[in-house]
């Protein structure tokens, strides 16, 4: 079947082909039954002809010495010939085959009677050929008795098959016409039902086709059949995912244009100032380098934020050890830790999670880098990975200034930096998107001693995989 065939064509073929096959089989069965009934009826006529001939026999002598005589004019069979379409022939013989009357060319019967004859008579029916024409023959063993003797005669009556064949053709044509009419009615009803049943599919297709190119709102089809609900729900979910991707893309383009405009404008002003000689060359190059570094950091973090959304749409992931990922990131950032002479503590127990490797590395890198940046020179910094129930927990504890209650409400939003001069405000937003994409949660809590803030705890909890597949 063509892959592009319509649902209606498949339904029609699936319904009509079995029905047509059934009708063909039923037609053959009906034809055979009708033909068998007609054969029985004509055989009864042959038997009547044979009995008529048998009634006109006479006998002298008894048993083996019996001598049979028959005076049967051919006109006696004319009553059984219908419409001059068939011819009838007969032969009367003794039990030993001796010809008594009739057509000598008709072969003598050499068969035997069936165990259960179809009629209350010693009769047998068989097919043969006579004068190069197929015939149906009835054989009757007719007891003959008279005042002068008693004997047994074998009466054979043969009939050509023209009338039977004509009736068979009529039965076949009548059966086929009735079955074809039935098939036509069933086909018409089936087409109407399939057309009606598939109307909601066509209407749904036209409704979706008529939508605007940017219309990805949920499909509203309250009257759709239950069988279409899975398709409608799946389509709505797919359009919802596409809408989120488009919204994220628009937001990324808008934020990129907004956020990169400032450093580029500053960089342009610094270059123009250096060209005019307003500041010493070394100072101008330092300012330009600082601006380029901030713009580079901002661009990289914005690309990371976009990559989180990309990986969110890709369910393929693997089981990874969060502790091992954190150890690798801590090793990469060790120069920054040493530069601030931090009292660094790392405790990373095995904790299996299902995630993309880049996500776990980016989560640990952003949390740890943020803690290093806000830690005082020579302060303490602790990173711990542990398991708690169904969670794998990553906790980063620094001795920084902590966060205010007002800042906590918006710190996970993009570009909401606690220190505008030293950050882009995307690090924690990236962490939050990663944790949400992995089905976890993240929190920032001040660590206090009395009424004084002594540090900040960043705690990320991810669903734990108990057994490594």
Question: For residues 95 and 152, what is the distance between their CA atoms, to the nearest angstrom?
Answer: 7
What fold does the segment set 318-463 form as a domain?
Heat Shock Protein 90 (3.30.565)
Q: Are strands 149-160 and 57-62 parallel, antiparallel or unpaired?
A: parallel
The CA-based angle 324-385-309, given to 5 degrees, is 70
Q: What is the CATH number of domain 238-312?
A: 1.10.287
Residues 6+ apart with CB under 8 A from 140: 47, 50, 51, 54, 121, 122, 123, 154, 155, 156, 157
Q: Which two tokens stand for residue 242?
A: 């596409």
Question: For residues 283 and 292, what is the distance between their CA atoms, to the nearest angstrom?
Answer: 14
Dihedral class, residue 61 (left if φ above 0, else alpha if ψ from -120 to 50, else beta): left
Domain boundaries, the chain: 7-170, 238-312, 318-463
pLDDT digits (tens), the chain, 469 positions: 455 567 777 778 888 888 888 888 888 888 888 778 888 888 888 888 888 888 888 888 777 767 777 776 655 566 555 556 678 888 888 888 888 888 888 889 888 888 777 777 888 999 899 988 898 999 988 888 887 888 888 899 998 888 877 887 888 888 888 888 888 888 888 888 888 887 887 787 787 888 787 777 777 777 777 777 888 888 888 887 777 777 766 766 666 665 566 667 777 877 888 888 777 878 878 878 877 776 776 666 666 666 666 666 666 568 889 999 999 999 988 988 998 899 999 998 999 998 888 888 888 988 998 899 889 999 999 999 999 989 999 999 998 888 876 676 666 665 455 444 444 456 777 788 888 888 899 888 888 877 788 888 999 999 998 765 5
Is the pTM of the predicted complex or chain greater than 0.85?
no
Question: For residues 102 and 157, what is the distance between their CA atoms, to the nearest angstrom?
Answer: 10
CATH 2.60.40 fits 7-170, yes or no: no
């Amino acid at each position: 079947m063509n892959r592009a065939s319509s649902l209606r064509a498949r339904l029609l073929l699936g319904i009509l082909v079995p029905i047509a096959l059934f009708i063909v089989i039923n037609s053959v069965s009906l034809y055979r039954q009708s033909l068998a009934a007609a054969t029985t009826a004509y055989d009864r006529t042959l038997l009547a002809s044979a009995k008529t001939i048998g009634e006109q026999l006479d006998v002298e002598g008894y048993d083996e010495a019996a001598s049979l005589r028959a005076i049967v004019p051919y006109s006696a069979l004319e009553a059984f010939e219908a419409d001059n379409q068939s011819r009838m022939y007969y032969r009367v013989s003794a039990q030993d085959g001796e010809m008594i009357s009739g057509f000598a060319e008709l072969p003598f019967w050499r068969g035997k009677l069936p165990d259960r004859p179809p009629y209350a008579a010693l009769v047998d029916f068989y097919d043969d050929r006579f004068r190069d024409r197929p015939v149906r023959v009835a054989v009757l063993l007719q007891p003959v008795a008279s005042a002068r003797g008693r004997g047994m005669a074998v009466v054979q009556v043969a009939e050509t098959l023209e009338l039977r064949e004509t009736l068979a053709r009529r039965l076949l044509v009548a059966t086929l016409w009735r079955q074809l009419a039935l098939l036509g009615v069933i086909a018409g009803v089936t087409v109407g039902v399939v057309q009606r049943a598939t109307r909601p599919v066509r209407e749904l297709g036209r409704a979706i086709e008529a939508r605007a190119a940017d219309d990805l709102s949920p499909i509203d089809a309250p009257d759709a059949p239950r069988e279409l609900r899975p398709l409608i729900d799946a389509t709505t979910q797919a359009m919802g995912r596409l809408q989120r991707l488009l919204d994220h893309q628009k937001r990324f383009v808008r934020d990129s244009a907004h956020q990169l405009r400032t450093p580029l404008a500053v960089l342009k002003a610094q270059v123009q100032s250096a060209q005019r000689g307003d500041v010493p060359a070394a100072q101008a190059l330092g300012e330009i380098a600082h601006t380029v570094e901030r713009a580079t950091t901002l661009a990289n973090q914005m690309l990371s934020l976009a990559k989180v959304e990309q990986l969110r749409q890709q369910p393929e992931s693997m089981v990874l050890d969060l502790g091992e990922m954190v150890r690798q990131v801590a090793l990469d950032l060790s120069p920054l830790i040493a530069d601030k002479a931090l009292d660094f503590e790392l405790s990373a127990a095995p904790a299996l999670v299902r995630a993309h490797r880049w996500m776990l590395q980016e989560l640990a890198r952003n949390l740890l880098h943020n803690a290093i940046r806000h830690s005082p020179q020579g302060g303490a910094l602790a990173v711990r990975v542990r398991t708690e129930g169904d969670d794998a927990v990553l906790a980063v504890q620094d001795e920084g200034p902590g966060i205010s209650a007002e800042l906590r409400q918006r710190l996970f939003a993009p570009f909401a930096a606690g220190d505008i001069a030293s950050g882009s405000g995307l690090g924690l937003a990236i962490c939050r998107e990663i944790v949400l994409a992995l089905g976890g949660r993240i929190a920032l809590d001040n660590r206090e001693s009395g009424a004084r803030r002594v540090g900040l705890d960043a705690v990320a909890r991810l669903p734990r995989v108990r057994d490594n597949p």
